[in-house]
Amino acid sequence: MYRYYDIDFKNSKNTYFGYLEKNGIILFIFMQKEGDLETNTNEILVNFIVTEFLEKQEFSSKFLKNLIIRTNDLFNEKKTCELGLKFLSSSIMLVLSNKSKYLIASSGNIQASVFDKDEKLKLRTRLDNIAYELYENKEITFDMIAENKYRKEVTNCLGGLKQLAINMTGELELELMDTILIEGINSWDNTNKEIDFAKIKIKKIEKKEKGRKNSFLIIGIIILFSIFTLFILNNKRIKVYEDKINEVKENIKIYEKNKVYKNIGTMLLELENIYKDLYKAKAIYIPRKLEIEYVKDTEYIKRVREDIITYNEIEKEISQSKLDIKNNEYIVAYNKLDKIKNNKLKYKLDTINTLIIESNDLQKAYNNLEKIDDLLENEKYEDLKLLLSDTKKIYMKYKRADLINTFLEPVYEKMNDKIESLKAIIEKTIESYKTMENKNLALVKLDDAFNLAKRVGDNDLLDRIENDRKLLDSEIKNLKEEIEVLKLEAKQYMNEKKYRVSLEAFLEVNKKLKKLDLISEINENNKTIRKIKELIRKEKKPTIIKNKKNEVEGEIIKSIYLSIEKGDEYISNNEFKNAYEEYKRALDLSNKVKIPNITIKKLKDKMKYSYEKINSAWW
């Protein structure tokens, strides 16, 4: 057959292309499964067509049409028996040739185009889809079919809901260097035409009239030269068988090279039938060379059949592994794939490795679920968010929205509810520390809030708390500085024997120490306070005028420090106008009594700060 045709083709999982010859008639078969259902129905239909052709060969439109009708009947019968195939359908194209003429018959979404040696289009068969009907109605151009969304909406095919219609071309003359291009609908999506196509180029044409003359000549020679003719005829018959054998073996090698094992079984059956016909034929002798070839081919057929068994096992394991992955049985799937990843045929290694990676990734995601539960229970939300994100990426990579909804979404809901509850506690803690007199205790509250925010993983909350912490640290620092200043003043008054003023200062120091919860320093101050009180009692009574003067000075000093304290309180509450008025009152009073310079300087700095805040546009 290769003397007459050059053949190139590329199948996908949804298509089948094959060809066979018997008694000078060649049948090309192109089948295309419609839909995503994985099934071996196309193989059964192809085997049926091959069997029918091997039993009877006839070059006629009637034979070709009846072959498609009987195939459709078998398909519908199979669908009736198997409910899972209810919505399955297939497209078919058959090309029948007697090496001088050819016929094309089709039903479904497969198109044949015939080009001459200059690649000029001579013939194009009809497509059975809605897009082609739009083209026929001149609603779109032919070139627009490939981009039309209805190009895969089949209107007529094997196993369809409507009555089967068959597109026939009638008898066509074969022309040298013509090319018959058969294209499945998926080939239209690929500009390089790399899948779902078959290309048949005409290399030689057999002239039938000359064949008949040769036949008459042979008959005459047989009559006149019986012995010599029988010898010559035997050689020719042997040559015919040898050509058929070599052609079938070449086909098998092409299928082996392309790893299309599902088609090889038909070819092996044809090879065996050729050898059976050879040994049944009445020949003078079978050459020794051919007998040796038969022995070798018998071993070859045995070996290839073993490869086919391996192929079927691999296909079965791949299909079952896909089902296992779908049912979340990832380890089971991995074990099956691991057994076939180094198969001797090197068949579908890319598919197997891809499925191994998928099963490993999904198993990793499954293992993450237990860790996710532990992190949720222990309220480690920052780590939980990262692990949830990694797991979700795996599920999204393999389009497992079902697993996201089943396993991850409930965790997200629980986590968000718990985080919101914690945020409410944090907000309450932040608010409570502002009203606390004890600044050290307020600092502890802020630390608690910071630790909770860290568990939640909320950066905005962490920033807020950090800023509040800086403000509180600054307030504590200022308070400590004020305490040191007051201590110095108190000691100075005590050295000057102004015991009552010194007493007021030490009492003020204790108030501020109480805000810092410095109990030991308060106790130490209390010893000094008791000592001052004792000195006041032992002090000789001064003149009435001096007493009154000291008493007035003491009240003024007390009022100054009271105003400063009120001003600080207003500052902490952001009431800068009130703070400024208190500081001004204290400064005015300081002109009437003797106040340490360092206190006056501090007082002026606070007045300046509150004044700037009053006049700031931000406030």
CA gap 275, 255 in Å, rounded = 20
Q: Is the predicted pLDDT of residue 53 greater than 60, yes or no?
A: yes
Domain count, the chain: 2
Residue 477 inside a domain? The answer is yes
pTM of the model: 0.40
- What is the overall mean pLDDT for the chain? 83
Q: State which of 190, 205, 220 marks the end of a domain.
A: 205
CATH at residue 108 = 3.60.40.10
pLDDT, tens digit (0-9, with 9 covering 90-100), for 26-47: 999 999 988 777 788 888 899 9
| Residue type, position 345, single letter | L
CA distances from 481 to 312, 488, 511 (A): 88, 11, 14
**Mean pLDDT highest for which of 225-234, 254-263, 427-436, 600-609?**
600-609
Q: Is the predicted pLDDT of residue 112 greater than 90, yes or no?
A: yes
- Range(s) of the domain holding residue 16: 1-205
Helix axes 439-456, 459-495, angle to 10 degrees: 170
Q: Which of 173-177, 179-183, 543-547 has the lowest mean pLDDT?
A: 543-547
Question: What are the tokens at 424?
Answer: 């409410």
Residue 57 inside a domain? The answer is yes
Q: Which of 17-21, 91-95, 433-437, 455-459 has the lowest mean pLDDT?
A: 433-437
CA gap 369, 407 in Å, rounded = 8
Question: What are the tokens at 497?
Answer: 């024997």
pLDDT, tens digit (0-9, with 9 covering 90-100), for 12-25: 888 889 899 888 89
Residue 579 inside a domain? The answer is yes
Residue 115 inside a domain? The answer is yes
Taking residue 367's Cβ as centre, other Cβ atoms within 10 Å add up to 12
Residue 21 inside a domain? The answer is yes
Give the pLDDT of residue 447: 80
Residue 11 inside a domain? The answer is yes
Contact status, residue 9 vs residue 256, Cβ threshold 8 Å: no
Q: What band does 190 get if pLDDT is binned at 50, 70 and 90?
A: low
Contact status, residue 397 vs residue 417, Cβ threshold 8 Å: no
CA-based nearest residue to 3, from 146, 203, 156: 203
**Mean pLDDT highest for which of 73-87, 367-381, 418-432?**
367-381
Q: State which of 205, 221, 238 marks the end of a domain.
A: 205
CA gap 432, 434 in Å, rounded = 5
Q: What band does 527 get if pLDDT is binned at 50, 70 and 90?
A: confident
Residue 217 inside a domain? The answer is no
3-state secondary structure of 96: strand
pLDDT, tens digit (0-9, with 9 covering 90-100), for 306-317: 887 888 888 888
Q: What band does 191 get if pLDDT is binned at 50, 70 and 90?
A: low
Give the pLDDT of residue 210: 45
Residue 488 inside a domain? The answer is yes
Q: State which of 205, 221, 241 marks the end of a domain.
A: 205
Q: Which of 370-379, 449-458, 503-512 has the lowest mean pLDDT?
A: 449-458
Q: Is the predicted pLDDT of residue 215 greater than 60, yes or no?
A: no
Q: Is the predicted pLDDT of residue 100 greater than 80, yes or no?
A: yes
